[in-house]
Amino acid sequence: MAQENTTRPSPGRPRSAEVSREIVAAALKLLRERGPQGVTVEAVALYSGSAKTTIYRRHKNRYELLRASLAFVEGMPEPPSDLPSRERVAELLRQFRYGLEEVVGLRALAALLHGDEDPEFTRAFREGVLQPRLDILLGALQAGVRDGELRPDADYQTVVTMIAGSFIARSAVQGSVPADWADSVLDTIWPALRA
């Protein structure tokens, strides 16, 4: 006997993937331009051309909207594994920089340093954007150790923190980071790491 299909389609029109992308793109644009406090459902509705009800159908509140927007940039493509360690790390640093400057914006980074102002954003940014990128960078350095290119006795967790910290410090002190930052930082630390 055939089993009867008891699933019913959800009421209303199906959600458009294009509208969802436009909402996320608007939230990211606001994040770059205004920081996390500027990402409100009202502002995203205005920027995306979507009704607030359309946004609320997809995201229960502002935090879910921020989380979904940050999830859009969570992935960081890894360079080919056959590249030498230094080239892999340099490529990851360029992607790290691009993600912070061009995708989420330095206002997001500034808000992270004042985490008590928007703890939900801070948690989402740390867990969804910053930590995964640092983990990938750490993995690339550890792969260099396994491949015999890098010293096995270095504290690579500290190395990753120093590299990320150099970007943050340059941004804070100088207002921008030089175009050759990735190569410059690697020129400085690589001799101490090389096997």
Mean pLDDT check: name the lowest of 93-97, 111-115, 171-175: 111-115
Going by C-alpha positions, the residue among 109, 126, 120 that lies closest to residue 168 is 109
pLDDT tens, 133-164?
899 999 999 999 999 999 999 999 999 999 99
**Of 65, 75, 55, nearest in space to 28 by CA:** 65
The answer to whether residue 138 sits within a structural domain is yes
CATH number at residue 165: 1.10.357
pLDDT at position 9: 42
| CATH number (domain holding residue 60) | 1.10.10.60
Residue 6 has pLDDT above 60, yes or no: no
The reply to whether 23 and 115 lie within a common domain is: no
- Going by C-alpha positions, the residue among 187, 188, 166, 186 that lies closest to residue 177 is 166
State how far the Cα of 170 lies from the Cα of 192, in Å rounded to an integer.
22
pTM > 0.75: yes
- What value does the mean pLDDT take over residues 109-113? 76
* CA contacts within 13 A on the Cβ side of 67: 12
User: How would you label 132-161 residue by residue, b for 16+ Cβ within 10 Å and e otherwise?
Assistant: ebbebbbebbebbbeeebbeeebebeebbe
Residue labelled with tokens 């699933």: 7
Does residue 154 fall inside a structural domain?
yes
Classify 150 as helix, strand or coil: strand
Residues 48 and 94 in one domain: no
Residues 139 and 168 in one domain: yes
Do both 160 and 99 map to the same domain?
yes
Range of the domain at 60: 17-71
Q: What is the pLDDT of residue 98?
A: 87
Number of helices (H) and strands (E), helices first, in the chain?
10, 0
Q: Is there a single domain that holds both residue 40 and residue 107?
A: no
